Structure 1
Amino acid sequence: MTSARYVVVGAGLMGAATAWQLAGRGEEVVLVERDVPAGPRGSSHGSARIFRYAYADPFYAELVVRSEPWWARLERGAGRRLIDRVGGVDHGRGREPERLARVLEAAGVAHELLGPARARSRWPQLTVETSVLYQPGAGVLDARAAAEAMVELAVAAGAQLRTAWPVRGIARTGAGFTVSGPGGETLDAGHVVVAAGGHLPDLIGELPLPAAFLAGLPRLRVRQESAFHFPYRDPDRPWPTTIREDGGLPVYSLPGGRDAGFRGQKVAEYHGGRPLRSAAAQDGVVDPAHRARVVAHVRAHLPGLVPEPYAETTCLFTSTPDEEFVLDSAGGITVVSPCSGHGGKFAPLLGAMAADLATGATEATGAAGVPARFRPGTAARRRRG
């Protein structure tokens, strides 16, 4: 049996970020992962996630700005670039580019608002009918490399890593907890951080958390999403990330990175995947109807791509009904997820927030401070007395 002040469950982006932050503060940390960090059956695998500032909600735009110093710190510590700043394009009537531009103006984020003709001249590989918001600082986040970097830095700071270590149970024992793993192995912990992503729906009801706290948490929804890689017609033309929304589901695209051999654009619908009970129900099978919708979108709106996918993959989104995050703590357990399919860009900052919660740091003395809107369980407990 191993004892540690903190056991962090899950080594995707959020768990890795929390372990990095805790270990960097000199805390005893054991990070456990059912597979490998940012493994292929989780939400943090792959080399291509959109990093963007464009949110209609000023809160999230400002949160991206707050995340920037943490990304810079991580890249310095890891000695590698984790965000490729290729720029980002948002367009379509449902995307409301003018509104996004006002939000970015208030947040102090560099951007341009272009008319359709000028946008088509700059990006002939796109079909554009509305004004376009361009963010030069947006780009592609290498999710797996970021998670691996945070794990490496956590281990270098003294954390222990256990892979192939699925959690079988978490029980309160005296002033702490016993975390049970494979083959009868156990860990003693003073505090447990649960960052289990799509496995959280299976775990949450089994955690020794106060009933009022559990009652305040939102319903969690897991989807098996699909993404497709399409070859560039002109391999030498630079591509930005794109988000187009015209009343239906938003469709996003981004340079596919090493996952696609650097020769194509990754394209997907946002929240267009199949609902699951939890990550345990995923099968990794792409829905043919989903593929057909994305191919039709490419044919109609991305003329710079050959409308025949040469690679495809699935991943998991775990979301709340309002797509907010859950970052809350009660009774010695901190819950860090879900992040509703858009949380990866905030990972180092959310790790700092989670470390603040776990250690009991206040907003004044902690590294980040935790917004009240991320703490539904604690708010419910306060309301109920």
Structure 2
Amino acid sequence: MSEIFDAIVIGGGLVGSSAAWRLAARGRSVVQLEQFGPGHKHGASHGTSRIYRQAYDNHLYTGLAADALPLWRELETTTDIGFLELTGAVDHGLPQAVQSKAKILLEAGIKGEILTPAEASARWPGLRFDTTVLHHPDAGRLHADRAVTALKAGAVFAGAEVRHDVRVLALARASYGVDVVTDSGTLAARQVVIAAGAWTADLIADSGLGSEIVLPTLRTTQEQPAHFAPLDPGVEWPSFVHHTGAELETAGIYGLGSEDGIKIGEHATGPVVTPQTRDYTPGVDGEQRLVEYAESWLPGVDSTRVESLTCLYTSTPDSNFVIDRVGAVTVAAGFSGHGFKFGPALGELVADLVDGTTIAPEVFRLGER
């Protein structure tokens, strides 16, 4: 019989790479399989920028984000790859949305302060602020491509194998765990982690596991953020979320500085697609909405210099993640456009599930929602 690995991780994006790193760091024999080559742009983990923040409406997400920070720093040290910059972050807009996050930060012992729009604009002149502003300094931005590269490097350093250009065709139950059938042969594992993003539901269905592993409905959309040229490259930019409901009546907006410019995007407004049918082409209407937003709310950018791009969201009905285990299979999916910041903390949760030392938080469990 061929070697039986402790864990095979299917998926080479943020969560799969985080799981491979944290499992290998525990001394487990791990193989990570990714169907595309390094640095591909077909999923949800590529690009130069993601927000890192700790301000959420509940302690679960705030706690996970706080847990991720020392792990991100450990990974930078281990791999000598820098990817996290703490610029601070602001939430502004509807007072109820802002105040609820301030309350959770206070209860968690995390620094935060409420500012008026005038106070915030004096500190960050590139932005115009709406109604109520929450600033928390232990936040900022992640370089997505470098972070995923570092996660894979960390996994390899800890003893994992990372194999690109290997497509998983099916999973089959075995006496020792699971057989993973790929286009280059069959591998044996005691445990399997499925972290395949927009491909997760099809992989589970094609493997005949749908009766055992009941996913909530996963909706994949093609989103289209855009980068705008800053008027003054020396001006500091926090990461920011503009909540709808006060002056902003359209979709909520997120944004942050990046090496490609000032990035902004609507949250989960893109058309429904599949990974096979997406066209990678930004829509004219979506770009125009972002241009109009920049004209109104971002005095620090040149709104005529815009470059749109596309990415995938795979979302659950309630926007809570799916991280749960059934038998020898752990599923990590449905990160709903806000999962990147948590990376290594999610990897720790997956590793705990694989090891059988925890159960999934109720809101992350499999089943209909």
Instruction: Say whether the fold is shared (TM-score over 0.5).
Output: yes
Counterpart-to-counterpart distance in 2, 1:176 and 1:289 = 49
* Paired position in structure 2 for 1:306: 302
Q: TM-score, normalised by structure 2?
A: 0.93
What residue is the counterpart of 1:293 in the other structure? 289
Measure, in 2, the Cα distance between the counterparts of 1:203 and 1:3: 21
The structure-2 alpha-carbon separation of the partners of 1:136 and 1:249, relative to structure 1 and needing over 3 Å to count, comes to same
Q: By percentage of residues, which structure has more helix?
A: 1
Instruction: Determine if contact 1:42/1:197 at 8 Å carries over to the other structure.
Output: yes
Partner in structure 1 of residue 140 of structure 2: 139
2:162 is the counterpart of 1:161: yes
What is the match of residue 245 of structure 1? 243
Aligned sequence identity (%): 38
Which amino acid letter does the alignment assign opposite residue 256 of structure 1? S
Q: Among residues 253, 256, 270, which one is paired with 1:254 in the alignment?
A: 256
- Cα offset for 1:210? 6.7
Output the CA distance in 2 between the equivalents of 1:6 and 1:120: 50
**Which amino acid in the other structure matches residue 186 of structure 1?**
T
CA distance in 1, matches of 2:55, 2:63: 10
Distance 1:309 1:170, change over 3 A: farther
- Evaluate the alpha carbon distance shift between residue 94 and residue 179 of structure 1 in structure 2; reply closer, same or farther with a 3 A threshold: farther
For residues 193 and 206 of structure 1, what CA distance do their matches in structure 2 show? Answer: 16
Residue of structure 1 in register with 2:201 after alignment: 201
Cα deviation digits, residues 165-207 of structure 1 (max 9, x gap): 111111223433222222x522222221110011112212223
Structure 1 stretches of at least 4 aligned residues deviating more than 4 Å after TM superposition: none
Other structure's SS at 1:86 match? coil
Which AA in structure 2 matches 1:376?
A: L
Question: What is the identity, as a one-letter code, of the residue corresponding to 1:357?
Answer: L
Q: Distance in 2 between matches of 1:206 and 1:8?
A: 17
Q: TM-score, normalised by structure 1?
A: 0.89
Counterpart of 1:235, as a letter, is: P
The aligned residue for residue 373 of structure 1 is 363
Cα distance in 1 for partners of 2:77, 2:307 equals 32
Contact 2:95–2:131 (CA under 8 A) maintained in structure 1: no
Q: Give distance in 2, aligned partners of 1:125 and 1:96.
A: 22
Cα distance change, pair 165–212 in 1 and its aligned pair in 2 (3 A): closer
Q: How many angstroms apart in 1 are the aligned matches of 2:37 and 2:5?
A: 21
Root mean square deviation, CA, Å: 2.0
1:271 aligns with 2:268: yes
Give the whole-Å Cα distance in 2 for the aligned partners of 1:38 and 1:324. Answer: 27
Cα deviation code 1:228-259 (max 9, x no counterpart): 110011111111111112233211111123xx
Specify which of 340, 343, 368 is matched with residue 339 of structure 2: 343
Tell me the matched-pair count: 364
Q: Alpha-carbon deviations, 1:255-280, whole Å to 9, x = none?
A: 123xx1xxx2011111121112x322
Partner amino acid, structure 2, of 1:39 = H
In 1, the alpha carbon distance for the partners of 2:177 and 2:103 equals: 48
Superposition map of 1:113-128 within 5 A = 113-128=114-129
1:212 Cα offset (Å): 5.1
TM-superposed CA distance for 1:2, in Å, is: 5.9
Contact persistence 1:210–1:330 (CA under 8 A): no
- Which runs of 5 or more structure 2 residues have no equivalent in the other structure? none
Give ranges in structure 1 of 5+ residues lacking alignment: 364-368, 381-385
Which stretch shifts more, 13-22 or 168-177?
A: 168-177
